[in-house]
A and B are shown apart, each in its own frame.
Chain A
Amino acid sequence: MGSGQLTDWSTPRTAPYSLRRRESLRERALDRESPLRRLDWVLMLAVLVLCAMGAMLVWGATKPQNLAAGIDPNAYLKKDILNVAIGLALGAVAAMVDYRTIRAYAPVVYLASFVGLVFVLVHGVTVNGSHSWVRLGAGFEVQPSEFAKIAIIVVGAMLLGERADGADAPENRDVWLTLAATAVPVLLILKQPDVGTVMVVAFVVFGIIAMSGVSARWIVGILVVAMAGALVIMHLHLLQQYQIDRFTSFTNPKADTQGAGYNTHQARIAIGSGGLFGKGLFHGTQTNGQFVPEQQTDFVFTVAGEELGLVGAGLIVVLVGVVLWRGLSIAARAEDAFGTLVAVGVVCWFAFQAFENIGMTVGIMPVTGLPLPFVSYGGSSMFASLLAVGLLQNVHMRTRS
């Protein structure tokens, strides 16, 4: 239908939106009210650079070994770029739908993730000892626990953000409800077992609760219970031997450089040998010799350390910092409690996961199988992270400046 001529004169400015003339795409994009103009471009840029660096590092980690094995040397690079593209599309969808609509559908999101977590226990496949993946066919696998993080953030924000008019803080009932709503997926994830994700979720939920304005008694109480729980776990020997090994090798890295400490020892050599400017992409000896295991996923940061040096590795830390800083700004400016808490939840997630991941590669945190958001290779993690960025943008776009 030809736009313009028919409605040009007959549609007053005050007409309802649906009756207004259809603007051209270019006009819409440049409109003051357009979502694109309201995007947090600093956040976006930081995320895109992280994704680009991630793709490069995944390439650096896999090209030499693929060449040696006679496989397409760029296979991982291509798949990573595809993951980023899909993730960005998912993020765009998450940004476009008004977050208040998402809040309305929070129970549906929660239910969907519950189904996913149950499904993985029944039909999942085991990788590295964790029963966390669902095989979709055509070489695609998803990890429902990654999406469960989003579901928990949305549901937690909904429960704690919904409060009586004028109230500053959620009621105790809402906090209990949040803890209960979190407990179900946490137990399912523990069953996989995926302790790393459980720790992320715990930190995220703690962050949302703390930020919702509950009294300090809640915060202290949760911390005390958590510590007591940790003591009980230690005393009842509920941990697997490999988890204890990882921890002892963390507290005493020189103890067993052949066994449990091997990964972290080799990771430190990789990073340390990179020096200030690195050995250059594809020129890392530790990387090319495959001394660091899981290098394109959990230990991808070592590639940055070895091949790009302090400059490249430091840039990643700084970019993560930018993402977190912008996320917190979005949380601070959000128009309602739900928006704030969603943003806080996402920031807590990224903060914990980035610190734990980089911390384990540089030897200041124990080893857990957590990917570095945006950088590590892996579809589910990439999708979930970019979805979460979409949520941040969503909140940002709908905040009146």
Chain B
Amino acid sequence: MSDRSRLRLVVLRVLIVSLLLTLLGRLWYLQVLAGPQYARAAADNQVRDIIATAPRGEILDDKGRPWARNKTALVVSVDRLALQRQSDGGTQVLHRLAHVLGVSYADLYPRTELCGKGGLPHGCWNGSPYEPIPVTQLKDDRRSTLLALQILERKEDFPGVTAELAAVRHYTKPLGAYATHVLGNLAPITPDELKKLPLAEQAARLRDLVGRQGLEQQYDIFLRGRAGVTQVAVDHMGGVTGTLKQTSPQPGDTVVTSLDARVQATLESALAGAVHNARQLGKAGFGGPADFAAGVVLDVQTGHVVAMGSYPTYDPSLWDGGRIDAKAYDRLRHTPGNPLLDKAYQSAYSPGSTFKLISTSGLLNDGMASINGTYQCSPSYSIGASSFRNFEGEAFGAISLHTTIVKSCDTVYYGLAYHDWLRDEALIRQHKKPVEGVQHIARDYGLGTPTGIDLPNATVGHIADRRNQLLRWKQTKRNYCLGAKRRKPGDILKAYDQEYCTDGWRFNPGLQLIEDIGQGSVLVSPLQLAVAYSALANGGTVFEPRIGKAIVSPSGRVVKRITAPVRDHIPLSRADLDYIRTAMYGVTRQGGTAGGAFIGFPFGKVDVGGKTGSAELGLNRSFTSAWFASFAGLAGQKPRFCTVIMVDKGGVGGTVAAPAVRKVWDTVFGVENHRAAFPTGKPPVKLPATSRFGNGVPTTGNATSGSGASPAALGPVGWPLPDLPPAVLARSSWAALGSGRWGAVS
């Protein structure tokens, strides 16, 4: 052998030894240095949590009628990873699926996209990308079932698509009542919410629907129940090789509310009727364009809400299954009157003359007015150069407070307010605190303060006083001062801006005057006004209103009774309160501002008091909002209920709002040929029987998978089959409904 070859053999020897040493070094790194990390990865690889969602608790009305419950539905899910593995990214399959389901591809596609990409506010999936994404649920009718079977039978046409049984939220609309805003809705848990949960809970709640808005949000912790987790060992295909740990799901508790479906249905139709009526009447007939309406019915003795709603509203079953159709949601957002907002508790408006009873309370309490005095009701009231007109220029001469309330004379209040203001200014000059008696008692009544109701996003409203005026001026003067500078000479608003820029902090006498008649910057929600009027009706007790009445466990045990806490007592004498209440009974009688609306009402059976309001809106006061706040009870008994109805730009309270309230009373007490919601004149005290099996919808299992596994749907395990035609059940492919790879787990 040549030396050259010998040398090259040595080179080859060295090369081979170094290659093998490289392998040993790499093994050392993988198995010793990075070993623990890979050991963890191996452990994660083979364990999957299968989540069995707990059936959500029901929401019932005061007599046990369900507002929200669960139903079994066939949910069509799409496996995103499986779609992505297809050559066209699953476009063809989704097109086919859209065709079968009868929806457009443009509708279907966004639902399979992950949230957080931007530009997909609705319908996108914010769960794990490794899980089947539910794209639609089918009704439990025959057609839908056949549809599901069609998908399952043509598996080769729909790779990555499954249809499975699942419990979905269902809003039942008892007696046609919506109560949409009060109930709220569900939505998938957001990644941020998930991050805030303890680590141990995160996996189990990954696909959770959580309450958003309304009672669903407020009582979410009770309604939610506890998901069951089955930890299984799996192989590389996601096939189960054994069960490691198992906890079964605990259904959520039932929330019994004080909402009465019959009264709610009446209130909703009364609101729609009032809006319709106002538009029909037009401005000439004391109506108006009526953008929206809202109303509340309270139990004045307990502080519970009997009905609450606003118009326009929308069908709560749009939220069935915890997800709203993106198109439908968009349509709602662009509907005039914003049906997504509940005007009864989520926003505040000028209450107009209904506020006069609050003013009266304050003035009586301060001694600025007396139930024995007489007051001048002139067509207008002047302070310096400013003149404040009476509504419609009416005048009644020297009258008592009673007549002032019955006729709703503004100028009497102007006079009282001006003297109130003068006294406060005198105190200020003496470096003492102003009394601001009307503002104080308004807050006692719950106006301008949080109501404390068991609903999220309730408005606080606003009560004008010297401090608020200063605060607001500080916050807003910049824009006004800019306006004063930049507006063209001759612009009316230029002078207005200039005045506000320099003197906007001043609490002018005019502000006090219009405050006492419930206009200007007094803003209250119908719910707040109802709480205040309940106090007038029940002798001065101000409640934090409650909708929930009790939490009942699935086994029927009462977990918690919910009572409305008393937040305040109105510091008025019984005589003063009785006087005001008597005046309110006068309002509904002939000669009162709501007399016309209650002609022919059987006062012998049901006694009704109230106060109208017609709050002027806009700079030129072209529209008024119609209010009627009223209480009623069986004749000879204490007043039991309070109803407030407001029709925005609806015209005059006595003409538009009061007739709507009358319809509510008809139903509540069962007069004027109506069926009584409460024949005894009182809401039921006893809790209704909760349905133990009515909500017994199967738990549906979902697989949460870590990295490296092909996700698979968990078939339904061990629960009753839904009502399907026997022919369908008999077909062999029924088994396919549950034959995911997880099907063997139980």
Q: Which residues of A come within 8 Å of B, CB atoms? A: 68, 168-169, 207, 210-213, 257-259, 262, 265-266, 268-276, 285-286, 288-293, 305, 309-310, 313-314, 317-318, 320-321, 324-325, 328, 331-332, 334, 337, 340, 344, 347-348, 351, 355, 358-359, 362-364
Contact = CB atoms under 8 A, between A and B. Distances in A.
Contacts of A291: 45-46, 235-236, 708
B21 to A, nearest CB: 9
Contacts of A313: 27, 31
Contacts of B234: 289
B45 A289 contact: yes
B31 A285 contact: no
A396 to B, nearest CB: 15
B590 interface: no
Contacts of A265: 708
Contact of A258 (B5, B19, B30, B81): B81
Contacts of A318: 20, 24
Contact of A271 (B12, B31, B43): B31
B27 A213 contact: no
Given A291-B235, A291-B708, A362-B23, 14 more contacts: A168-B2, A266-B236, A268-B30, A272-B35, A272-B38, A273-B42, A274-B31, A275-B32, A291-B236, A324-B16, A334-B1, A355-B20, A355-B23, A362-B26
B28 interface: yes
A16 B694 CA distance: 105
Given A305-B27, A320-B20, A273 B9 contact: no
A231 to B, nearest CB: 24
A165 to B, nearest CB: 14
Interface of B: 1-2, 4-6, 8-9, 12-13, 16-17, 19-20, 22-24, 26-28, 30-32, 34-35, 37-39, 41-43, 45-46, 81, 85, 233-237, 241, 707-708
Contact of A321 (B20, B39, B42): B20
Nearest to B85: A259
Q: Please classify the interface of chain A as helix (H, G, I), strand (E, B), loop, or mixed, using the class held by over half of its residues.
A: helix
Nearest to B30: A272
Nearest to B19: A355
Contacts of B233: 289
B517 to A, nearest CB: 70
A331 B9 contact: yes
Nearest to A313: B27
A213 B30 CA distance: 40
A211 B12 contact: yes
B125 to A, nearest CB: 18
Nearest to A292: B236
Contacts of A212: 5
Contact of B5 (A211, A262, A276, A355): A211
A388 B54 CA distance: 65
A273 B16 CA distance: 27
Contact of B45 (A213, A269, A309): A269
Nearest to A340: B1
The 10 closest A-B pairs by CB, nearest first: A272-B38, A273-B42, A168-B2, A289-B235, A291-B236, A272-B30, A273-B39, A310-B31, A213-B5, A273-B38
Nearest to A167: B2
B31 A290 contact: no
Contacts of B19: 351, 355
Contacts of A211: 5, 8-9, 12
A289 B241 contact: yes
Contacts of B6: 332
Given A212-B5, A290-B236, A328 B13 contact: yes
Nearest to B40: A273
Given A257-B707, A272-B38, A331-B9, A168 B4 contact: yes
A60 to B, nearest CB: 16
A210 B41 contact: no
A315 to B, nearest CB: 11
A272 B39 contact: yes
Contact of A273 (B2, B28, B41): B41
A360 to B, nearest CB: 11
Contacts of B26: 359, 362-364
B24 A337 contact: no
A142 to B, nearest CB: 29
A328 B20 CA distance: 15
Given A211-B8, A324-B16, A351-B19, A270 B35 contact: no
A331 B13 CA distance: 11
Contact of A286 (B1, B24, B42, B237): B42
B81 A276 contact: no
A293 B708 CA distance: 13
B263 to A, nearest CB: 56
A209 to B, nearest CB: 10
A123 to B, nearest CB: 31
B12 A347 contact: yes
B31 A317 contact: no
Contacts of B39: 272-273, 275
